[in-house]
Structure 1
């Protein structure tokens, strides 16, 4: 049986490679970028394995969501020449990941449940009351931004004030991405609820194209970037 696992996509003829935990990316002419989603799977900042067809599933799930949210926020996608491949606009990726949470959940060091159980009540610029139960629904979705770690680094928690004071984003950029993220999350929650799921939390990445427009990048509402629960 032929090998059906795409564990890497190394193309030495293409310039400016970037090998992420899941995607192998290169520059193309005319301010374009090719993103090849491999079958690698990662968790807790580690590549764990490669699963047949995982890259195709991930790419096509992201495609579904990009096409169902471009009325809220434009995205980087130009074409899908292959089930594993996206041709997108070349972007300057913003150095902040926009994480939106609707529930007190998570297991990593940056999750609000982990920090809440350690006794923290002020996190990411938000105040939390005493007495919340694990996985409780928040009064409303909140943004818990982190640094955008490259080359396998670890993301670090941020507040909106820190983002602005450190010059990571301008006031206008922060307003744009935070407003878009909450609207995207709302759309995602509404759509998956009709299928019996809960979108618990997710992350969004944004970048700036050659014209200075902020675009949604990378992926959206996939199991690689989001937590889902069965509604029942």
Structure 2
């Protein structure tokens, strides 16, 4: 199976490079090219095998949602020159991720089940079950760890530690809730429930921008709306489209990213199954068939398309 694990390009006008858990980012004077690889991470650990088409799904879903929310907040995206590539403005990121939750799932549920009733300064009511809706969407920010695990942090801690000033935090807080409302409405049209997601923001020329990806299966959790109420009443697991099924498979095989734990073996069957789930989300979210771009020489295609786009954007050497 042809998958894009990593890139090693050297562009003429390149000023820097950064490899994240999933994306390879090439920096230029005031722009950046973000290559969505097929790497997959869970519990802040990059898994050993890449997932075919995953990068294409993430890049194309993120681009659609960035374009669909540009009236709410300006975003970094300028062009999508390749199925796996987005090119846009280089921003200085805020050092936190804004996690918005509408339902008690994932990390929030694990904390709640352990007895905690306050998450990132937000009080949670007693008597909730896993996957129940919250009284209102809440923001549970996390730090952005360059290595290791992101950590929960409250609004008060963010401001008091001077990570973001109060005025700018209020702006990105408002943006986050408006984006979540828009994402919820779009998901509803497609028969889905947007359960939780995360947003990242940055600044360029003193302007706040929405950056990175939004509403993708890597950054979001979706339930199927059909049958949701019935499954909740019966205490059954929700049918979902997200990366949570990967986390559940890892946990069932004794891995949660903790020291000393070994990543379970990923068979071809497991890899193919994960790939199909990502494609399923794309088609469910967009209502369009997924076009599989699977050239044998993915790297040459990507490099050529980035170079052409940079020329059209008149990226010049520093």
- Asked if TM exceeds 0.5, the reply is yes
1:9 corresponds to which residue?
A: 7
SS of aligned partner of 1:86: strand
Q: Which deviations, in whole Å up to 9, do the C-alpha atoms of 1:2-38 show, x marking residues without a partner?
A: x732111112453321100110011123x11111111
Q: Quick one: distance in 1 between partners of 2:6 and 2:139?
A: 33
> Cα RMSD (Å) of the superposition?
1.2
Matched, 1:183 2:178: yes
1:33 corresponds to which residue?
A: 32
1:118-157 to 2 correspondence within 5 Å? Answer: 118-150=114-146, 152-157=147-152
Deviation for aligned residue 1:227: 0.4
Higher strand share: 1
Higher helix share: 2
Q: Quick one: distance in 2 between partners of 1:57 and 1:160?
A: 32
Q: Which deviations, in whole Å up to 9, do the C-alpha atoms of 1:42-80 show, x marking residues without a partner?
A: 111112221222211111101110010000011001111
1:97 corresponds to which residue?
A: 97
1:1-232 to 2 correspondence within 5 Å? Answer: 4-13=2-11, 14-29=14-29, 31-48=30-47, 49-106=49-106, 111-150=107-146, 152-209=147-204, 211-232=205-226
Deviation for aligned residue 1:149: 1.3
Q: TM-score, normalised by structure 1?
A: 0.93
Deviation for aligned residue 1:202: 0.2
Q: Quick one: distance in 2 between partners of 1:15 and 1:39?
A: 24
Q: Is the 8 A contact 2:76 2:209 kept in 1?
A: yes
Aligned length: 223
Structure 1 runs of 4+ aligned residues shifted over 6 Å read none
Q: Is the 8 A contact 2:43 2:149 kept in 1?
A: no
Worse-superposed segment, 13-22 or 82-91: 13-22
Q: Return the index of the structure with the highest Cα Rg.
A: 2
Q: Quick one: distance in 2 between partners of 1:54 and 1:25?
A: 17
Q: Quick one: distance in 2 between partners of 1:214 and 1:38?
A: 27
Q: Which runs of 5+ in 2 are unaligned?
A: 227-318
2:290 corresponds to which residue?
A: none
Q: Is the 8 A contact 2:22 2:37 kept in 1?
A: yes
